Every structure is written in C-alpha cells, then in structure tokens.
Amino acid sequence: MTPLLMLAVRNVARSKARSALTTGAVTFGILMTLLIGAFIHGTQRYLIDETVKSSVGALQVHHKGYFEQRDRQPLKLDLEEGGALEDAMRRVSGVAAVTPRLVFSGLVSNGSSATLFMAQGIDPEREKQVLPWATQQVRGTRLSADTPRSALMGSELATALGAEPGATLTLQATTKGGKENVLDVDVAGTLSGSVLALSKRVLYVPLPFAQELLRMRGRATEYVVAVEEGADVDQVAVGLRAALGADYEVRTWRELQPAVGEAIRIQRTILLFIGALFLIIAIFGVANTLLMSVLERTREIGTMMAVGVRRGRIALLFVLEAVVQALLGAALGVGGAYGLVALAVARGGFTIPTDKTQSFTLIPEVAGYQVAIAVVAATVGASLAAVSPALRAARLRPVEALRGA
C-alpha cells in the first residue's frame, strides 16, 4: 500500500493544474460549509446563552403540578424559601448557584390609568449568579437591598404608564388567601433589550416586597438553578430529581423554552442541506477531473498493465489520488475557515440588529463536530466519486491503452 500511496502523491504533484481543480473544489465546499456552520453555531450559542443567562436559567424547580395550575392558583403550590429544600439543591453535583423567585401578576396603576403586569419577586444579588444577563440594559438604578420598595419595569410598560425612574406606582395583587392587597412602589429603572420579550407587562421587585404584597413571608413559587461550567444540564437535572423526590418538578431550559430547541434543530437541518449541496458540487468536480485524468493517461495505464500491475491496483491508485486531493482540500478548507473565523472574532464579531433600536453581537464559532463531519464526508465522497473513473481505467485493454485509444 505504501508504494502505491507514494505513487498517488507523486501523480497528484505532477499534474498541478488538474490537481488544483480537484483540490480547489473540495476546499471551496468545506470552506463554505464550515463558514456557514460557524455563523449558525454562533447563533445557536447566543440563543442558548440568552435563554440560560437572561431568561429561564439552566434549570427550574417547582412544586409538582405547578405548571398545570399556574394559570389558575399557582400561589397555592408554593415552596419554602431557603431551609432544607434549598440545602438539598446545593448539595447536588454540578449545581453552581440557586435563587428563589416569587412569580405573580396583578394590576399596576399610576393614579389615572391601570394595566396588567407580570412580576417576579427576586433576590437581586443571588439573581445575578443564575441570570447574569437578565438586567444588563437598565436605564436608571438596579434593584438592591438598599431599595426594598423599588421596581424595575419593562420599557414599554413604563412608557404606557408614563413612569420615569423615581415615579411612584401602585401594585394590586391577589394574595395566596384570595384577598386583594395594595402597596406603593417606586420605579428604580426601566429595562430594555431582546431579553425582555414581554416588556409590555414585565416587572421585577425585591423578593421581600413581593412576599409582603402577597402575604407569603418566607415562601417562593420557584427556584432557578445555575450549573457549573462544563456540567451536563440533563445530568444535573437527574441528580436534582433524585435528591428532591416526587413532590417536586425539575425542568431544563429545553423543556421550559421548547421553541429555542426547535429553532436550533431547524438551523442544523438547514446547515446539513447547505453542506450537502456544497459537498455534492465538490464531488462532481472530483469525478470530472479524475475522468479527464483517465482519458489523458491511457498510455501510462497501458504501460502499467504491460509490466504486470493488476487492474485492481490501478483502480486503487486513482481512488488514492482522489483521497489525497480530498485530504489536501480539506486541510486548506479547514485552515481557511479557522483563519477567517479567528479574524472575525478578533474584530469583535458581527452586530445583528433585532429591531430598530436593539441588536446583539454574534460571535462565529467553528464546531469540532462540524469539522469532523465535513472532512469525513469530503474524503468518503471523493473516494466514491473516484470509483467510476477508476473502474474505467481498470477495464482498459493493455494494447488499446498503449495505442492511446
């Protein structure tokens, strides 16, 4: 095999123009596949980070049946704030941080008009540990322990109520016991950004304030859990379910936001289709140039047969030439993709607008599995593309080949 492989390498190096066409076709196919894949992978990474770091967290823990009741009486399926429940979560391997929340809804009024709101009572400091992106874009002041009766509002909700930072609003909500309660709250700041898809209704208040409004001191409706860097979310979820028992539900971000998982699946399907298209174009290029090679080298093939080289080895020689060119093209394509992506990352990525006022930064990333799939597909594809020209070469009759027929 080694002498035949060396001969294949020599033949590739000897036919520079023809080899350049074949190698270039493979290089182009892999380069374009990996570049498109890098953008799609970067988009997927952003969608996951957006979900995990600014929206729902990696995991959430609720009382069993909470999701079935959350549109009716979710406050009755509450949890203990702190204590044994939280300690049990923290002891699970892979858990990095835990924070309680109290989720509720009600009416917010500026004295002359009122509208519905959806609120989360949070611990501002602990919230940063599990959702570091949640309140990045704040106009005004963030929530803190020093401002126990303040609120952060979605920008559209604040605009609808004419509420600037410093304004006082009235929150009305139904308590766990079914009675109405009203408290005043000061607007600390407003929130904007793609992280707040519900900015027309969303409102954040300190957890003790929410507990006072709902008369649920020491209680919460959910826990948000962050996992350690590199930890498998599904494995941590299994550990939490085992530690907490059947009275609690543990859901991953994929279960909480299935639309994100579906978007990622669609993107991967699109990438697979585009990659296959580029590789098919490359494989046709390989087959065409190898067929030309067979036609141009009929005398050489005849000479090899005349000195005793078997037909199978002649066919294998052309397949090896295709593999050598495919591997060379793959190396150039992978190197080019990594180089261009590194250049884009060094320049800070790409700013993608989401609407007239907001945008996000996309950092392209070449995924290792995409490289492996592209290289294997190109090599196998080139080998298969070489089969027909190789068999044509092997079927030539020595006398006719020596005549150049």
Q: Are residues 207 and 249 in the same domain?
A: yes
Which contiguous run of DSSP H or E holds residue 219? strand 219-220
Q: What is the pLDDT of residues 305-360, one digit of tens each?
A: 776 777 777 777 778 878 888 888 889 999 999 999 999 888 888 777 665 556 67
Residue 195, pLDDT score:
45
Residue 339, pLDDT score:
93
**Eight-class DSSP state of 181:** E
- SS3 at position 79: strand
Give the C-alpha separation, 199 to 191, whole Å.
Answer: 8
pTM of the model: 0.76
Q: Which of 63-72, 84-93, 189-198 has the highest mean pLDDT?
A: 84-93
Q: Are residues 110 and 129 in the same domain?
A: yes
Whole-Å CA distances, 248 to 38, 220, 339: 39, 13, 48
Confidence of residue 217 (pLDDT cuts 50, 70, 90): very high
Residue 41, pLDDT score:
87
Over pLDDT 70: what percentage of the chain? 86
Residue 349, pLDDT score:
80
Q: Are residues 72 and 159 in the same domain?
A: yes
Of 222, 256, 290, the residue that ends a domain is: 256
Interval 137-165 mean pLDDT: 85
Residue 244, pLDDT score:
93
How many CB atoms are closer than 10 A to CB 376?
11
Name which residue leads in pLDDT, 180 or 281. 180
Strand partners, 107: 116, 172
Give the C-alpha separation, 97 to 380, whole Å.
Answer: 46
Q: Are residues 289 and 340 in the same domain?
A: yes
Is pLDDT above 50 for 210? yes
Whole-Å CA distances, 38 to 89, 248, 269, 344, 349: 36, 39, 14, 11, 11
Residue 369, pLDDT score:
85
Q: Are residues 71 and 159 in the same domain?
A: yes
**396: exposed, middle or buried (Cβ count in 10 Å: 0-12, 13-18, 19+):** buried
Is pLDDT above 60 for 122? yes
- SS3 at position 339: helix
Interval 138-157 mean pLDDT: 85
Is pLDDT above 80 for 192? no
Of 237, 256, 275, the residue that ends a domain is: 256
Interval 225-246 mean pLDDT: 93
Confidence of residue 21 (pLDDT cuts 50, 70, 90): confident
Residue 212, pLDDT score:
94
Of 223, 256, 289, the residue that ends a domain is: 256
Weakest-pLDDT range from 150-159, 162-171, 349-358: 349-358
Whole-Å CA distances, 126 to 89, 118, 131, 165, 300: 15, 20, 9, 23, 76
Q: What is the pairing mode between strands 138-140 and 180-191?
A: antiparallel
Q: Which of 160-174, 190-204, 356-370 has the highest mean pLDDT?
A: 160-174
Q: Are residues 297 and 203 in the same domain?
A: no
Q: Are residues 204 and 297 in the same domain?
A: no
Q: What is the pairing mode between strands 79-80 and 168-174?
A: unpaired
Confidence of residue 363 (pLDDT cuts 50, 70, 90): confident
Confidence of residue 109 (pLDDT cuts 50, 70, 90): very high
Q: Are residues 23 and 94 in the same domain?
A: no
Q: Are residues 238 and 317 in the same domain?
A: no
Q: Are residues 32 and 81 in the same domain?
A: no
Residue 354, pLDDT score:
62
How many CB atoms are closer than 10 A to CB 191?
25
Q: What is the pLDDT of residues 124-141, one digit of tens each?
A: 889 888 988 776 667 778
Interval 224-232 mean pLDDT: 92
Q: Average per-residue pLDDT in the chain?
A: 83
Weakest-pLDDT range from 84-98, 158-172, 265-279, 283-297: 283-297
Q: Are residues 17 and 132 in the same domain?
A: no
Q: What is the pLDDT of residues 284-307, one digit of tens each?
A: 777 777 777 666 666 666 677 776
* Count of domains observed in the chain: 2
Residue 401, pLDDT score:
53
Boundaries of domain holding 284 = 2-51+261-402
Q: Are residues 249 and 288 in the same domain?
A: no
Residue 317, pLDDT score:
76
Residue 196, pLDDT score:
44
Residue 277, pLDDT score:
81
